[in-house]
Amino acid sequence: MAVYEEELLAVSRVEARALPLRRAAALLVALAAGVLFAVRLDLPGFFDNEGRYAEVAREMLQSGDWLSPHLDFRLFLNKPPLAFWLTSLVFSIGGPSEWGRLVPVAAAVVALFATARLGALLYGEAAGVVAAIALASSLGFVLEARTLRPDMIVTATVVLALLWWLRAERNDGRRGAWLVGLWTALGVGMLAKGFVPVVLAGIPIATVTVLDHGWRGVRRLRPGVGLLVLAAIVLPWHVAVALRHPGFAWDYVVNQHLLFFLDRKLPRDSEGDSLVFFWTAFVGRGFPWTMFLPLTVGEALRGWRRVGTDEARATFVLWIWLGGALAFFSCAPSRLEHYSIPALPAVAILAARVWQRAAAGTLHARAWRYVVGLGAVATSAGLAGAVFGERLLRETYWIAQVPSLLALALPAAAVVVVTGLGMVFAATARRPAVLVGVLAAAMLPAAAIVLRAEVDAEPLFSWRPVARALGGAASADTEIVFEAPDEYQLVGGLAYYTGRRITLLEPPGGFVPPTYLAGQMDGMFLSRAAFARRWQAGERLAFVSDPQRRREDPATLVPGPFRVVGRFGDRWVLTSVPPGVG
């Protein structure tokens, strides 16, 4: 017996020494991924949505007004301020540039490390490291880490909130401190994207709490303390802006949240994605690790029925997180495909659980056959892509404007073929570590190809080439007129890259302003009649068409005469012709 106890003690000492190493490995994965995400952040130029955040941050830094965000030098209170503040801080160090994307890169590093710690808490330290690797090599996560908008901040705060909640559930000695951390993370998330992070973290937290402890168990979360923490973080800015700008409170709470969720917000400046596209995009953003989700359903059901192990219960919790996020946005007609990003850490941890079961030899033979089948499908799809990919791409009208995109079809197909063959080999040999390595390694060239495609497609989706064309064709005293849709905020990227205030042509069919703009609409839009008179009179004007409308004939856009500066995707750039000039 003494010998047996000594052996157990020796094993425990080895495991104790391994814990810091595995934690260091998780941090190393997160930091290394952050370095890779930051490679050439200057490419491509800011796309439409990014330009909005970049311009607000630039104007905030220029004006010194950190309380009231402005876009194109007009009040813009549609979004909470955290992403603007952080981007302004980056701009204050190195000047306005695409390196403002360091904000989502830093948030991605936090999300990766928090995911590793959450995976370690649920399944062990090794699984946490694998979860970090899986998340860092999820295609959609890589792209979002290089996109200037608040969704990566939301992802980081949701993971932190769930991590600290589970810490509180498992450590009563420090329960109060962990719960303060939970509420603090949600408060920071609210400064990034309103009530969204509270809902996304609240669904699994509330569901599991009620199932485990009944409705009275909600008191375990110390909601009174939570309200105080949220009030301390969230209220100062919101109250200050509400006092300064009448109409903001109603617009922010009702219009930008409730009515937006129901797709009844005014102005009608957004159009949601279809449910099929939203779910398809989720699978693609979580690729390749979403392939393993079906292998975790059975364990999640056992965890729900409480007939399994603690690991089964953990899998159930992750599915409540994942399913709750997707169900919530599926109910919203205003959903956009990138809203599923905060669910990707759950996908990564579930994939790590599949690896763990495979390494322990408890993964059923059917699961291995399933992976072999997926590998065979991937190989076949890659071969088909090599033969027909370029032809299929040619059928998309906007790709014809960027022929270099066609050259990416073959290398993309080659990556898919090699990955599929690697999956077949790893699954046939039942080598889970090799399988994880194959999939993670495959995402390096895959991400490089997608990023190269974004760079090539910059003229179609970024305002930088438009601004350069305007700089070469229009003098400094030429007034730039943007054909504004209801989503007039798209002007942000044009204003950012030209460094000028842009004149907005009134949207067709009228414009219903948010309530905080009541009384401030004078001069916001140029009427179409006034624009036509000024154009025909030969004033120095440049015209940029609405990027959301496809028009093949520029003659339908302005009264004439005009010169065509260029076409960038669905955006035409035209200049007026002074009188007497042919």
pLDDT score for 205? 96
- As a residue count, the chain comes to 582
Structural domain boundaries in the chain: 21-42+97-359, 367-454, 464-576
Tally Cβ neighbours within 10 Å of residue 16.
9
Is it the case that residue 4 has pLDDT exceeding 70?
no
Q: b or e along 249-269 (b: 16 or more beta carbons within 10 Å of the residue's beta carbon)?
A: bebbeebbbeebbeeebebeb
* 22 pLDDT tier (thresholds 50, 70, 90): low
To the nearest whole number, what is the mean pLDDT of the chain? 91
**416-461 pLDDT, tens per residue?**
999 999 999 999 999 999 999 999 999 999 999 999 999 999 999 9
Is it the case that residue 343 has pLDDT exceeding 90?
yes
Global confidence as pTM: 0.93
Cα angle for residues 553, 556, 558 (degrees, 5° grid): 120
| Joined tokens for residue 564 | 């065509």
Dihedral pair phi/psi, residue 309, rounded to 5°:
-85, 180
* 498 pLDDT tier (thresholds 50, 70, 90): very high
Closest CA to 277 of 336, 225, 191: 336
Q: Are 427 and 350 in contact (CB under 8 A)?
A: no
More confident residue, 460 or 269: 460
Q: Helix, strand, coil: what percent of the chain each, to 5? A: 70, 5, 25
pLDDT score for 140? 94
* 312 pLDDT tier (thresholds 50, 70, 90): very high
pLDDT score for 261? 76
Identity of residue 198: V
Cα 235 off chain centre by: 25
The Cα-based distances of 362 to 359, 422, 432 in angstroms read 8, 22, 12
Q: Which of 80-84, 389-393, 525-529, 567-571 has the highest mean pLDDT?
A: 80-84
Outline where 490-571 has alpha helix (H): 491-498, 528-536
More confident residue, 204 or 11: 204
pLDDT score for 378? 95
Whether cis (ω within 30° of 0) applies to the bond prior to 288 is yes
Tally Cβ neighbours within 10 Å of residue 579.
10
Interatomic CA distance for residues 378 and 484, integer angstroms: 43
Q: Which of 163-172, 200-209, 253-262 has the highest mean pLDDT?
A: 200-209
Closest CA to 61 of 90, 32, 27: 90
Place of tokens 């934690």: 23
Mean local confidence (pLDDT), 535-543: 93
Mean local confidence (pLDDT), 62-86: 95
**92-126 pLDDT, tens per residue?**
999 999 999 999 999 999 999 999 999 999 999 99
pLDDT score for 46? 96
Q: Are 136 and 110 in contact (CB under 8 A)?
A: no
pLDDT score for 182? 97
pLDDT score for 348? 98
More confident residue, 383 or 49: 383
The Cα-based distances of 388 to 76, 375, 383 in angstroms read 46, 20, 9
Cα angle for residues 540, 57, 479 (degrees, 5° grid): 5
Closest CA to 294 of 381, 185, 371: 371
Is it the case that residue 339 has pLDDT exceeding 60?
yes
Question: How would you class 396 by CB atoms within 10 Å of its CB: exposed for 0-12, middle for 13-18, buried for 19 or more?
Answer: exposed
